[in-house]
Each structure stands twice: as structure tokens, then as C-alpha cells.
């Protein structure tokens, strides 16, 4: 490495946040980037560890020591080229990835890991600022046509790779804009949507065709696409939410997180909430969020910005340890207590809590009735309690993709969890020329996994169409 002793000489620093009092007044990103000099210093901390476990910790196998060294050498353009060789969209992962690569960093065994995510985001943001990121036009065409259904990160990564392989790629998206959960689930304060738009502009410049407002399986049949295209990729995501089957679930004011979050994102983007849709707002309400994951945190941050009276987050799992035993967990992602930026904005959290019922008056929710549970999820006697609630948001994850319409009509085989069945060798479904990638295949997961699967699926589709194996994975 450029500075072999960097990890000993330089203290770890991360991007900062704007003060809570300032950031909750709007929906803008509030992360404060490091300066160019600070970023170079953090890159210098990447040690010559011999076996870079960060490669495997990262689902797209980013060549992290290589681009860290290039940043340290002030060769940002080649750092960007290296980063793009494994990751189509570092601007997404640099903002919303939990960074399993940092957990796998060799330095994390004894000290603080390298600020990998911070450096990654600095590389890609500088690339856009400098105008280095432009459409890559491929003049040699294969004559083959591919339809990709779903414009989330898996579908977008697959589309870009296949377009660059010379195929004619059309992406069908049921929403008005591309991005999937990146656009309609992730709040703007975590990632502003111009970040997606500038990448879509690149894809369109390369020749990828987007058709919005088309729900395949409803507006157009899968049979029609099979007749028109040489290959089809299903990348629609995992959209069937886990429900809460308790008394009072049907009361007005109990909603899935993905009924709540897209509305605010559409308000911010001026897309607007359809007049036929019931508006869900947390303003002046006591909000209870059920589910302790990222989606739950997104509900918290959004509720606080809408002016909620109070926000409480309930999690059925026990509270994790504050510090992992690194000698046992490294290089794997450890289970430990983490506090998200949204949780730190004023939410109350409670663990080992099961919902027993929801209370209401005149058809509207007024409270939630809970009980503490032990490590086996069994209720503990005499631990019942109730909370006032005007809005309850269910953020308990997703079970599988929506089966009605597209999947039902495609007649593709499903696995035991209800996902579209395909392996990671070729990503082929049981249908002859239909492939699948992302959450629709693996179940709900990280954006970085979606990008990986989209790239690998593209390589398999390219091989299926041409017999070549030229696309990187």
C-alpha cells in the first residue's frame, strides 16, 4: 500500500451528520462528507493485510484495497474505474449499504475498520462532480432483445450490463419512475432522488429503453413479451409484506410501512399522492412502529419530520449486545445493538415485545396492547402494557414477491418460501427463456445483493443469447 503505517499513524474519522434540530425540518440528505484531504487520509489507513477479507464481506466483491490505494495516490479517476468494474451504482451503496465490508476489515479485529463506505461515496460523488461518468455507447449490436420487468437496483444493474453487451434492452416498470424501493421506500433524507435520476440518464444515454406505468401481468401479458423478446428477466422485488394477525388489525390507522413511506417520497418529488389513495400522515399523532429494522427506522425518521407527537419502535427480538465478541464474529456481520440516525432523532425503543391486540374507538385506532416475551418468544406473565397510538406502522419485513399477475401468469416454479425459483449458477427459472434476480429470487435483502444478482444474471442471459461469457460478474 501507499502508506504501510497509515493504520497506525492516522485516526479513523467518519462523515458527520447535521444537527438533529436542523435536519428534521426537511427531507434533504444530512450527511456531511469528508474533505478531499481527509478522505485521502482515511484511504491511507487501509493496511497491507495480505488477505483482504473485505472482498468477501462485500457482496459485489469490490476491490477495496486497490481503490483505497488509488485514492491515497490522488488518482481518483482510476479509483472510479476500479470501483465501477464491480459495482454499477456505488452512489447507492455509498449511501444506504450497512457496509458488511467494514465488519470484515482486518483492522476491525483490534481497532476501528477502514471507513470504506465513506471513501466509496467520495469516489463516486467526485466522479459525477468532475463529469467523468458518461454513457458508454456500444456500436456493435447483437440483434437480440431482452425485457427486464422491474426497475429496482437488480433490474437496473442487469439492464446496464446487457445494454453494454450490445443487446436491445427494455425495462418495464409499473411505477411512474425507476428505482423501486430506492425511490419509493428509502426516504429522501437518506438518499435524494436526483441521485437515481442522474444514473437513469446515463442508462438511457447508453440505449436502455424504459417503459413506465406498465404492470406486466395486468396491463400487458407475459405471453406477449415472450413472443416479442429473446429473453426476459424478472426483477420485481419482494413486495408482499408480513402482516400482524391480531384483534383490531382492521382499524383505521393501522398501515403497512410501504403504504406510508411511498406517499412522502411522492410528496417530496412532486409526483403527488393519487386522489383515490387515502393519505397517511403522522402529524400530531402518537406513532407506534412495529419492527426494528431499516424500514422501521425509515418510518421513524419520516414520522418525526411530519411532526409526530411521539414515536415508539417495538421489536419482538431481544435487545442485542452493545458490543460483539470480535474473536467469534469476525469477519462476519455481527449481531449487536445499533442506533440509526432516525432512532437518534427522538424515538423510544423497546425490545422483546409482542403485540396482543389493537384498541380503537369509532373504527379508529387509539392504542396498542403488548406483552413482554422471553428468548423463546413466549409471553411473560404480568408484563402486559398498553401504549397510546393514533398511527401504527407495520415494518416487519416482506414474505415473498406478489404472486398475482406476473408470477402467476408466467407459470414459473416457486421455492419453499414463495420466491421465484432459480439458482445462482445461471439464474434461469423453470420457464425456458425467463430469468430472475434480486429480491424476487432471494427474498428481501440489501441493495448491494440486488446489484450483485443483477450483474450475475446479466452474464447468464448474455451467455444464453450468444454463447459467450464476456460480461463480468
Above 90 in pLDDT, residue 459?
yes
Q: How confident is the model at residue 472 (pLDDT cuts 50, 70, 90)?
A: confident
Beta bridge partners of 364: 252, 361
Q: How confident is the model at residue 239 (pLDDT cuts 50, 70, 90)?
A: very high
CA distance 234 to 390: 38
* Average pLDDT value for residue range 367-382: 97
Residue 136 falls inside a structural domain: no
> Which residue is listed with cell 425485457?
147
CA distance 206 to 200: 10
User: Tell me: the pLDDT tens digits for 288-342?
Assistant: 999 999 999 999 999 999 999 999 999 999 999 999 999 999 999 999 999 999 9
Q: Domain range holding 301? A: 243-396
**Last-in-domain residue among 377, 396, 415:** 396
> pLDDT at position 409, please?
95
As for how many domains the chain has, the answer is: 3
Residue 473 falls inside a structural domain: no
Task: Supply φ then ψ for residue 100, to 5 degrees.
Answer: -60, -20
C-alpha cell belonging to residue 87: 459495482
**Whose CA is closest to 60, among 338, 445, 461?**
445
Beta bridge partners of 241: 398
**Last-in-domain residue among 105, 129, 153:** 129
Residue 438 falls inside a structural domain: yes
Beta strands in 95-227 (DSSP E): 145-149, 168-173, 209-212
Say whether both 309 and 423 belong to one domain.
no
Say whether both 184 and 320 belong to one domain.
no
User: Tell me: the pLDDT tens digits for 27-71?
Assistant: 999 999 999 999 999 999 999 888 899 999 999 999 999 999 999
What percentage of the chain exceeds 70 in pLDDT? 100
Q: How far is CA 307 from the centre of its chain?
A: 26
Report in angstroms the alpha-carbon separations of 363 from 126, 366, 385.
53, 9, 22
Say whether both 360 and 247 belong to one domain.
yes
> pLDDT at position 36, please?
97
> pLDDT at position 275, please?
84
Q: How confident is the model at residue 1 (pLDDT cuts 50, 70, 90)?
A: low
Identify whether the C-beta of residue 267 lies closer than 8 Å to the C-beta of residue 305.
Answer: no
Amino acid at each position: 500500500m501507499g502508506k504501510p503505517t497509515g493504520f497506525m499513524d492516522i485516526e479513523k474519522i467518519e462523515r458527520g451528520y447535521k444537527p438533529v434540530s436542523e435536519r428534521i425540518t426537511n427531507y434533504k440528505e444530512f450527511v456531511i462528507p469528508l474533505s478531499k484531504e481527509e478522505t485521502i487520509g482515511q484511504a491511507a489507513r487501509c493496511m497491507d493485510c495480505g488477505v483482504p477479507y473485505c472482498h468477501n464481506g462485500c457482496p459485489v466483491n469490490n476491490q477495496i484495497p486497490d481503490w483505497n490505494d488509488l485514492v491515497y495516490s490522488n488518482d481518483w479517476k482510476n479509483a472510479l474505474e476500479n470501483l465501477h468494474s464491480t459495482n454499477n451504482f456505488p452512489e447507492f451503496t455509498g449511501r444506504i449499504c450497512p457496509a458488511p465490508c467494514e465488519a470484515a476489515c482486518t483492522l476491525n479485529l483490534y481497532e476501528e475498520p477502514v471507513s470504506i463506505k465513506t471513501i466509496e461515496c467520495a469516489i463516486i460523488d467526485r466522479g459525477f462532480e468532475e463529469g467523468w461518468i458518461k454513457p458508454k455507447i456500444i456500436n456493435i449490436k447483437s440483434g437480440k432483445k431482452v425485457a427486464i420487468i422491474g426497475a429496482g437496483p437488480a433490474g437496473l444493474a442487469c439492464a446496464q450490463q446487457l445494454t453494454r453487451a450490445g443487446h436491445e434492452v427494455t425495462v418495464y416498470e409499473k411505477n411512474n419512475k425507476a428505482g423501486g424501493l430506492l425511490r419509493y421506500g428509502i426516504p429522501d433524507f437518506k438518499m435524494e432522488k436526483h441521485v437515481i435520476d442522474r444514473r437513469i440518464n446515463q442508462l438511457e444515454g447508453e440505449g436502455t429503453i424504459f417503459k413506465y406505468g406498465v404492470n406486466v401481468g395486468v396491463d400487458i401479458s407475459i405471453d406477449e413479451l415472450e413472443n416479442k423478446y429473446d429473453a426476459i428477466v424478472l426483477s420485481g422485488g419482494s413486495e408482499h409484506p408480513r402482516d400482524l394477525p391480531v384483534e383490531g388489525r382492521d382499524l383505521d390507522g393501522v398501515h403497512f410501512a410501504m403504504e406510508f413511506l411511498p406517499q412522502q417520497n411522492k410528496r417530496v418529488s412532486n409526483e403527488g399522492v393519487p386522489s383515490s389513495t387515502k393519505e397517511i400522515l403522522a402529524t400530531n399523532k402518537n406513532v407506534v412502529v412495529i419492527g426494528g429494522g431499516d424500514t422501521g427506522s425509515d418510518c421513524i425518521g419520516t414520522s418525526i419530520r411530519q411532526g409526530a407527537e411521539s414515536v415508539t419502535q417495538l421489536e419482538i427480538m431481544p435487545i442485542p449486545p452493545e458490543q460483539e465478541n470480535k474473536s467469534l464474529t469476525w469477519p462476519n456481520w455481527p449481531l449487536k445493538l445499533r442506533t440509526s440516525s432516525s432512532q437518534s432523532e427522538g424515538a423510544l425503543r423497546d425490545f422483546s415485545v409482542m403485540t396482543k391486540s389493537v384498541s380503537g374507538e369509532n373504527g379508529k385506532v387509539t392504542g396498542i396492547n403488548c406483552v413482554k416475551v422471553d428468548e423463546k418468544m413466549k409471553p411473560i406473565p404480568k408484563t402486559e402494557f398498553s401504549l397510546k397510538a393514533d398511527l401504527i406502522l407495520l415494518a416487519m419485513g416482506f414474505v415473498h414477491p406478489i404472486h398475482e399477475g406476473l408470477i402467476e401468469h408466467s407459470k414459473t416454479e416457486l421455492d419453499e418460501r414463495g420466491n421465484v425459483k432459480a439458482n445462482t449458477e445461471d439464474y434461469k427459472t423453470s420457464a425456458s427463456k425467463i430469468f430472475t434476480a434480486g429480491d424476487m429470487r432471494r427474498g428481501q435483502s440489501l441493495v448491494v445483493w440486488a446489484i450483485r444478482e443483477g450483474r450475475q444474471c446479466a452474464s447468464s442471459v448474455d451467455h444464453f443469447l450468444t454463447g459467450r461469457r464476456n460480461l463480468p460478474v
